[in-house]
Amino acid sequence: MTAPLAIAGLSVAFRHNGEERRLLDDVALTLNRGEILGLVGESGSGKSLLCRTVMGLLPSAKLQVTAGSIRLDGEDILAGDRFADIRGRRIGMIFQNPTSHLDPVMRIGQQISEGLMRHKGLGAQAARAEATDLLAQVGFADPPRAFESFAHQFSGGMRQRAMIAIALACDPEILIADEPTTALDVTIQAQILRLLMDLRIERGLSMILITHDLGVVAQTCDRIAVMQGGRIVETGEKRALLAAPQHGYTRQLIASHPSVGAAGAHVAVDREGAPLIRVENLEVRFPVGGGFLRKGQALRAVKDVSLSVWAGETVGIVGESGSGKSTLARTILGLTPATSGDVLFEGASLAKDRGATLRRLRSDAAMVFQDPFNSLNPRMTIGATLAEVLKTQGETPPDRIAARIGELLDMVGLERSFAGRKPRSLSGGQCQRAGIARALAVNPRVIIADECVAALDVTIQAQIIDLFRALTATGKLTLIFIAHDLAIVRNLCERVVVMHHGEIVEDGPSTRIFARPERPYTAALIAAIPDIDPDRPLNGGTPTHIQQELAP
């Protein structure tokens, strides 16, 4: 039987001003009917570019297909240039960065309905009903309200769920999922992956799943293809490949996978004195709904939170998407105003003396944002971005700025040539590393890292975690690490704070939290961590009553 998708000898090159650089090199890959193929590899290896080429969505006119074929049910879609008819209807794609692919001025429901009306010929009312049902399927608690909402009103995880609904809208035969669960916490990730697996069975869907999480690959995929440097270096059935990898790079990926059973060494922290950061009865509300003549309601994103963080601590904040983790972090740094309560930094109060406290925070604290693309200036090169920070900080002599930029790029695992590149020419993982370099440029006393390794492959994750561990080993850097990957939090952080619906529900040493969680919610988060064992259940064996309690 003919494979629904067959790629042979595919090469893509960057061509500009006489320069040519090959980005995909003689790629051969098949996707069998009803199969889930896992595509793994380091950031920048060509995974996303390969799938965008299949969709006819090369990100620049300077990129050209120089050789090869892409056959869909035997027809070479490259030769026929049939992408407009195929895209969305026969092949759907879930993009890595939902913010860049959701229209900011259209309601989410309209964006789903648009494809339904174009490809399935539905009327407005029928499209609305089907779109609302899709929003329910991907985990929105209030689908009619989500239909009327805009992308900016959602958390990163909720935007990703909306993107998945759009991709599924026209019942495609093939679904390409580019890091579909990167922004999701483990419980919602498990729900989405189960949904995709159910769709595969119900509709005979064939799927390419791009991910850096080998746990996701092990528990969802039938075969695995490993990419490095624009080439496929190894392909095989998942159990055989994970048990006996043949290529050295594959062995490196497997060895770098974080284990929830391993805890890193932690620095002793002096908690006798006053905390470096103290949050007191913090409440943050956002207006939702309403209109010009009627007052809308308020969403309580953070509810009466109190928290102390001492100098030198490594604190992990975990919880589902939309639980208030990022809002809490942004409020601590003064980026989001508090509705009530206070944040104190070394005793200085944001509520009582906002200007002076903000100046201290700007010089002593830095944040690595969740969305790497939208946190970097698209018009500036990475080098110019870092130089701007170093000049503003004023601690680096002008004649050492170029050398310092090189050192920062080395620290985060980027080649020094990246100083001359702009964000649009970088992969998601490379952009995130640039964001970490920018945070380190100010020599901060406090770093708040908001999902800073979510977009990175496991080898680079390990490098960044080792970097943070080295920086915190002296006790001079305080780290607040927000993540949905509890295995990484276990390895890095000495203390874990669990948030749920805007509240702190558990707070304690990571050794105790992971060994003896007090709340069913915390236990379910830990149980849902994807494991590299392909025979372990996807949901981690989470009891049904807890799954129902966690459902959004």
**Dist CA 226 CA 215 (whole Å):** 14
| pLDDT number for residue 111 | 93
| pLDDT number for residue 291 | 52
Ranges in the chain, pLDDT < 70: 1-3, 156, 182-185, 259-268, 270, 289-296, 455, 537-552
Token digits of residue 4: 């629904």
| pLDDT number for residue 299 | 82
Burial (CB count <10 Å: 0-12, 13-18, 19+), residue 42: buried
| pLDDT number for residue 247 | 93
**Dist CA 161 CA 158 (whole Å):** 5
- Rounded to 5°, the CA angle 529-532-536 comes to 70
Domains contained in the chain, CATH given: 95-171 (no CATH), 277-531 (3.40.50.300)
- Beta strand 75-76 with 365-368 is unpaired
| pLDDT number for residue 411 | 85
Long-range contacts of 47-51 (CB under 8 A, 24+ apart): 47/178, 47/210, 47/227, 48/96, 48/178, 48/210, 48/427, 48/428, 49/12, 49/23, 49/24, 49/230, 50/7, 50/10, 50/24, 50/227, 51/93, 51/176, 51/178, 51/208, 51/210
| pLDDT number for residue 403 | 95
Token digits of residue 393: 């900080």
| pLDDT number for residue 365 | 92
- The residues, ordered by sequence, that sit 6+ positions from 398 with a Cβ below 8 Å of its Cβ are 391
Tens digit of pLDDT for each residue in 417-432? 999 999 988 877 788 8
**Dist CA 421 CA 536 (whole Å):** 42
| pLDDT number for residue 16 | 82
pTM, to two decimals: 0.73
| pLDDT number for residue 544 | 34
**Dist CA 165 CA 111 (whole Å):** 10
